Amino acid sequence: MIKAGIIGATGYAGNELVRILTNHPETQIIWYGSKSYEGQNYSDVYRNMTEIADDTCKGDNIEELAKQADVIFTATPQGYLAQILTDSVLENTKIIDLSADFRLKDVGIYEQWYKIQHKRPDLIDEAVYGLCEINRDKINQNTRLIANPGCYTTTAIMGLYPAVKEGLIDPDTIIVDAKSGTSGAGRGAKTANLFCEVNESIKAYGIGNHRHTPEIEEQLGYACGRDIKIIFTPHLVPMQRGILATSYAKLTPGTDEAKIRRVYEQYYKNEKFVRLLEEGVFPETRFTKCSNYLDINFKTEPRTGRLIVVSALDNLIKGAAGQAVQNMNILFGLPESTGLETVPVIV
Amino acid sequence: MIKAGIIGATGYAGNELVRILTNHPETQIIWYGSKSYEGQNYSDVYRNMTEIADDTCKGDNIEELAKQADVIFTATPQGYLAQILTDSVLENTKIIDLSADFRLKDVGIYEQWYKIQHKRPDLIDEAVYGLCEINRDKINQNTRLIANPGCYTTTAIMGLYPAVKEGLIDPDTIIVDAKSGTSGAGRGAKTANLFCEVNESIKAYGIGNHRHTPEIEEQLGYACGRDIKIIFTPHLVPMQRGILATSYAKLTPGTDEAKIRRVYEQYYKNEKFVRLLEEGVFPETRFTKCSNYLDINFKTEPRTGRLIVVSALDNLIKGAAGQAVQNMNILFGLPESTGLETVPVIV
Amino acid sequence: MIKAGIIGATGYAGNELVRILTNHPETQIIWYGSKSYEGQNYSDVYRNMTEIADDTCKGDNIEELAKQADVIFTATPQGYLAQILTDSVLENTKIIDLSADFRLKDVGIYEQWYKIQHKRPDLIDEAVYGLCEINRDKINQNTRLIANPGCYTTTAIMGLYPAVKEGLIDPDTIIVDAKSGTSGAGRGAKTANLFCEVNESIKAYGIGNHRHTPEIEEQLGYACGRDIKIIFTPHLVPMQRGILATSYAKLTPGTDEAKIRRVYEQYYKNEKFVRLLEEGVFPETRFTKCSNYLDINFKTEPRTGRLIVVSALDNLIKGAAGQAVQNMNILFGLPESTGLETVPVIV
Amino acid sequence: MIKAGIIGATGYAGNELVRILTNHPETQIIWYGSKSYEGQNYSDVYRNMTEIADDTCKGDNIEELAKQADVIFTATPQGYLAQILTDSVLENTKIIDLSADFRLKDVGIYEQWYKIQHKRPDLIDEAVYGLCEINRDKINQNTRLIANPGCYTTTAIMGLYPAVKEGLIDPDTIIVDAKSGTSGAGRGAKTANLFCEVNESIKAYGIGNHRHTPEIEEQLGYACGRDIKIIFTPHLVPMQRGILATSYAKLTPGTDEAKIRRVYEQYYKNEKFVRLLEEGVFPETRFTKCSNYLDINFKTEPRTGRLIVVSALDNLIKGAAGQAVQNMNILFGLPESTGLETVPVIV
């Protein structure tokens, strides 16, 4: 049994980690970390967990936790892990970080977009960017720190990766128009996230400055071998879970629909958690709800010479806790889908 | 492996059966039955099932199915099973019926409330009313036909059963005010169930004549040993899943809160799927969403001498497909929670 | 033109007052009061009001406001008006209070249920309980203080009043099971009211101790001429607006459906804002959304000898701001429906 | 009083026409047309209209209606008006058509995108495209036929018009990513529009072939004086009302944020129903809900040299019935905002 600790177990991603790890046959949660609810029963915070996770929430003593846990998941605010992470922690345990602290390789870009001084830039190089289907080969038993990708980022990158990698589109023309459920905004008590403010409305936010932008640019930049700039516009949708990204880019000369399909099939046909839908069927977030699946399809628009890609996932699972557990499975040599085989809940 | 067939696999309860049985370690679905979609791929109807249940939907040839399947689940309109069920089917397989055909022991009451002539009244006595926690002892290897209880019914009966059985309330004063998500209305293309007609509204329906009324009366009547009449009022709530029942009844003399708690604890403390919440904490449907749990709590109201019981469950799981699988587990001697241990999804 | 001031203009009821008074042909808003947003533009808080209400929010200087305004609406927390109200204010202006401070005639009951010491018990007798259809005759040009009824209260009382007044039911058996949209919980930044906590769930709350209970009891007690005790259970529904109350009581001997209909028709046929629906058609909150209508219908249940009444309204309009404006119209001798003739928005 | 008839009064746009015209001080509805509900009481179909519109629904006898009505609104399926419209109708009355039949000037494009043979191509030239703020000067007392613009179209065109007209962007790079509430899908009883299929999900549809595409292209083509091709992708959002369009295009050399703001202010500062929001504040559909407002703002993205425009409206009002009434006001010489001054309902 893998002994797992969670720091930040009472946020929405944290709760999802608890839920997935509770059903995972090879793990045992030994630490429900929550500064805000320290000393309270976890199931008093999340009453769905009554008689399932009746342990007491613990504080953020990462040094102590590192001695007890085989792996620590951190689902904490930006900057927090970089601040508390020490060398001795990394000597004792593995870290899978759901925050953005170690996702960007360029610390300057991190500090510019997040407006935070990075406390452990020396560890950035060591961290593996845990986009499982792309980077699983970079994870091995010596890996100590995995930067779990963002939710929007996973949706966008996975939708565009084969096209960028194989030169099917001009990366400088990429526009990602993404739509997210409200759990992505977190569990903080903010007026803007009240039911009466969110329901029956849709809005764009973070236009031109959302912090997942450089993460998408960096990863797609690796795919095409040079720096790129994209447009990324997130929207808030009155639903709890799910992200749908509609991405646009200019086709490169000679690229047609059939060629793109061959490429995407080649990239994804053996990926359990990536489903390339059949021609003419496009992702809907509900097809992936409560599962680790990421659905993709595309269409060329010959009138304007563009590719349109639609990709969708559950932001709390493949976009956060599910992918984190998938990374844990890779890290510990388990079958990658262990504990993640749940069927999407369409209704 | 238990070979399971489903007749009515493309309704919402049918899809939930598919979902649960797919994750069940001891079953294999051999027949996705759907008259409406016969010949189509199951995952074309429910695209969440892409790469998971890519079989073709079959018709309703129950004789043929009975030869192949160890158990048949019927999630069909009222009256349909009674019409197609034959003796040879029952000789070859087990039936777990999610419709109301064999729930009421009094065929006259069935015909009066359902406005249908019952085609197989001779089989009613044989059928076991599959309210697992109450009737599990009546199910054994000779059982051929289980009448799976209704969703409202399970919520109401389980909330009131200990109080009625132990004489803590006057059964003739029972009022059950129940609230259901919209999946309970089925997947039929009706104007009344369109998003724009259901969202941002609540209504009562079937006032004084909903067909779950006699089912509650019959079962609670068994508990107290005599015929009773109750009031049952269902409401439609703009959510997908969940039923919450708020039930009221006059306390019998000498009954107080502490006594009721002792009784309810005694009845439910060993029941995995029934959670009696701690004092002062009341059920919310989301605590049970996507799980087989049924949550209960109560409060006495000394000013008026009444008991108020609140009970909640997921109408598609503990109120339909989950309880059906729980009945299958009992029937086949498996641990009762096999395949049903999923943690509620609160967000 | 009536000069109107609002204290508490940035809560949901306050915003609804602004909306209704802006469209009212005989009023002018001269004071957008909001302690929390003092100095900010009103339309920066409620961006729907851009180019419509671009005034600056003012503080709560009620003495100054009383000199300028013909009428002050207070949509403030319980206890606040009683604390700031002075004799000179009442000499200068009229007050229509949307809080509970002057609704209950028995100050002991107020202090017991609200856990607040009442600062101006001497004014309670003077205040008129502004349930327009019942008490309009008590409002005249000398009226200085109107206690606008609660939202649940209006729904419940109006549904039961004729039956109680005419002795058609036994008032001691009344149970009011009410369901409310989330705007009733206010605009405070609380975790419990976040979209992800409210959506896809229903819960009961305030079981046996909700503060609208004594208000219903007092008013229905006046109707039948004696003290009564009822059960009132509110529920939170995942929608923004609307309250539906399902009320139950024992019929008195000799009462039948036809007699009740005659009585209800007599009470409500001339009431513009109360619609007794035709037999067999029951209220849905959407029939009243964004309007001042209150819809009612009922059914007798002969099997159990009970009356079931369903009543519904928009909690922010007939349950708050609309009724407040209706009271203002009565107070100033305007036609009662002035500014309130908006048609319900069903979609 | 203007005598108004409605053909198609029981669809969602038709109901909205009824609602707006009922509150309009200068009109009287003389004909509630509905083939499906002919002979039924209008308020039995839309119970919000009880005691407000208790007339009987009439059939589609447009010849008879034309003799009685000063204006006829047609909210009918594509192709239907072109089929029933006669010269004598146009001699007797005015037509404001909410369908697409007379929106496109190029009948070949109409037939290609709508897959319908146009029955009255001879009338296309005469029809005025009723985008009020752009084309009001083309409407006068001789106008007989107004083609009311589509909902997506109004949102997209109004957001981009000043930029295209003034050459601030390259029109061949336009991408409109639009998101709509579900009322846009109509009131037909389709499984895809059931609450349980729409709620908690978002999807794109009509990718590359939605019929509002050529309408946007034609109108923006007029603005820049040449044929253009754009990308338009609509999405279905789990809400009832509202459209938000996020549009992208390449800035032309020398264009900066300040210049664009000057242009947009010049175009829209005197438009009552178009609100250019202050810098940094972006439209949300709820700011316009239940009103005739269309909100717009934009941002330049210097990293990629693009303009991002966000525009939003209520699809049933400014996107359908409200704009139709605005056109009627222009046609009959009334102040343009008569009957349309309702304040948006944010909650």
pLDDT tens-digit map of D242-267: 999 999 999 999 999 999 999 999 99
pTM of the predicted protein model: 0.98
Strand-pairing partners, residue A310, are: A246, A297
> For residue B271, which amino acid is it?
E
Report pLDDT digits (tens) over D37-76. 999 999 999 999 999 998 999 999 999 999 999 999 999 9
Terminal CA-to-CA distance of chain C, rounded, Å? 34
Distant-in-sequence, close-in-space partners of A3: CB < 8 Å, separation ≥ 6: A27, A28, A30, A68, A69, A70, A71
Tell me the residues of B at the A interface, defined by beta carbons under 8 Å apart: 12, 15-16, 19, 22-23, 46-52, 183, 200, 240-241, 275, 277, 281, 284, 286-291, 295, 316, 341-347
Question: A320 pLDDT band (50/70/90 cuts)?
Answer: very high
Using a CB–CB cut-off of 8 Å, the residues of A that contact D are 172, 175, 177, 179, 181, 196-197, 199-205, 207-208, 229-231, 233, 235, 237-242, 244, 246, 248, 282-286, 289, 299, 301, 303-304, 306, 308, 310, 347
Nearest in space to C69 (alpha carbons), one of C34, C108, C95, C41: C95
* Superfamily for the C152-315 domain: Dihydrodipicolinate Reductase; domain 2 (3.30.360.10)
The rounded mean pLDDT for chain C is 97
Query: Which pLDDT score, from 0 to 100, does residue B294 have?
Result: 98
Q: What pLDDT, in 10s, does the model give residues C255-278?
A: 999 999 999 999 999 999 999 999
Architecture of domain D2-126: 3-Layer(aba) Sandwich (3.40)
- For residue D204, pLDDT over 90 is answered with yes
Tell me which residue of A208, A210, A206, A178 sits closest to A192, measured CA to CA: A206
Q: Which helix (H) or strand (E) holds B92?
A: helix B87-92
Contacts of residue B242 in chain C, CB cutoff 8 Å? 200-202
Kindly report, residue by residue over C243-255, the tens digit of the pLDDT: 999 999 999 999 9
A85, A120 in Cβ contact below 8 A? yes
* Separation between Cα atoms, residue C347 and residue D15, nearest integer Å: 9
pLDDT at D240 over 90: yes
* Per-residue pLDDT at A179 exceeds 90: yes
Residue C165 is predicted with a pLDDT of 98
Q: Kindly state the tokens that stand for D37.
A: 């509900």
Q: Are D232 and D178 in contact (CB under 8 A)?
A: yes
Give the integer Cα–Cα distance in Å for D296 and A46.
40
The confidence score (pLDDT) of residue B54 equals 87
Q: How far apart are CA C198 and CA A182, in angstroms?
A: 12
Contact by Cβ (8 Å): B134, B323: no
For tokens 């009212």, name the residue.
Answer: C24
With CA atoms as reference, the chain A residue closest to D178 would be A177
What residues in B contact D182, CB-CB < 8 Å? 194-196
Q: List the catalytic residue out of B151, B196, B224, B290.
A: B151
Confidence of residue A209 (pLDDT cuts 50, 70, 90): very high
The answer to whether D202 contacts A284, with C-beta atoms less than 8 Å apart, is yes
Of A202, A286, A308, the CB nearest to D208: A308
Q: Mind listing the pLDDT tens digit for each residue in B24-82?
A: 999 999 999 999 999 999 999 999 999 999 899 999 999 999 999 999 999 999 999 99
CB contact under 8 A, C242 and B202: yes
Instruction: Give the one of B193, B238, B239 whose C-beta lies nearest to D194's C-beta.
Output: B193
Q: Which of B152, B169, B180, B200 to mutate to test the interface with C (most CBs of C within 10 A)?
A: B200
DSSP assignments along B182-219, one per residue: GGGG-S---GGGBHHHHTT--EE-STTT-TTHHHHHHH
Identity of the residue in B23, B49, B343 whose CB atom sits nearest the CB atom of A341: B23
- Residue D187 to residue B191, Cβ atoms within 8 A: yes
* Residue carrying structure tokens 């269409």: A299
Percent of the residues in chain C that have a pLDDT greater than 90, as a whole number: 100
Run of H or E residues at D245:
strand D243-250
Marked catalytic residue, from D132, D151, D224, D290: D151
Residue C115 has pLDDT above 90, yes or no: yes
Quick one: closest CA in B to D190, which residue? B189
Q: What is the pLDDT of residue D328?
A: 98
Q: Looking at beta carbons, which residues of chain B come within 8 Å of D199?
A: 182, 195, 199, 238-240
How do the domains of chain B map onto residue ranges?
2-126, 152-314
pLDDT of residue D20: 98
Cβ neighbour number for residue B125 with a 10 Å cutoff: 8
Q: Which residues of B touch C289 (CB under 8 A)?
A: 200-201
Domain with residues B152-314, CATH architecture: 2-Layer Sandwich (3.30)
Cα(A260)–Cα(B27) distance, rounded to whole angstroms? 39
Contacts of B346 in chain A (CB under 8 A): 15, 46-48
Q: Do D304 and A201 touch (CB under 8 A)?
A: no
Whether the pLDDT of residue C54 is over 90: the answer is no
- Asked whether the beta carbons of residue A203 and residue D175 sit closer than 8 angstroms, the reply is no
pLDDT at B210 over 90: yes
Q: Which residues of C touch A196 (CB under 8 A)?
A: 12, 182-183, 187, 193, 240
**Cα–Cα dist C16/D84, whole Å:** 44
What single-letter amino acid sits at B264?
Answer: Y
pLDDT band at residue A54 under the 50/70/90 scheme: confident
- The count of C-alpha atoms lying within 13 angstroms of the C-alpha of C41, restricted to the half-sphere facing its C-beta, is 11
Catalytic residues of A: 151
Pairing of strands D27-33, D2-7: parallel
Chain D residues near any Cβ of chain B (below 8 Å):
12, 182-183, 187, 189-191, 193-200, 238-240
Pick the residue from chain D with its C-alpha nearest to B195: D195
Name which of B187, B200, B239 is nearest D194 (Cβ-Cβ).
Answer: B187
C-alpha distances out from residue B65 to B24, B57, B68, B329, Å? 20, 13, 5, 20
Instruction: Kindly state the percentage of chain A with pLDDT values over 90.
Output: 100
- Asked if the Cβ–Cβ distance from A282 to D239 is below 8 Å, we say no
| Catalytic choice (C132, C151, C224, C290) | C151
Q: Mind listing the pLDDT tens digit for each residue in A256-298?
A: 999 999 999 999 999 999 999 999 999 999 999 999 999 999 9
> Band of the pLDDT at C11, cuts 50, 70, 90?
very high
Q: Are A193 and A264 in contact (CB under 8 A)?
A: no
Q: Is the reported ipTM for this assembly greater than 0.90?
A: yes
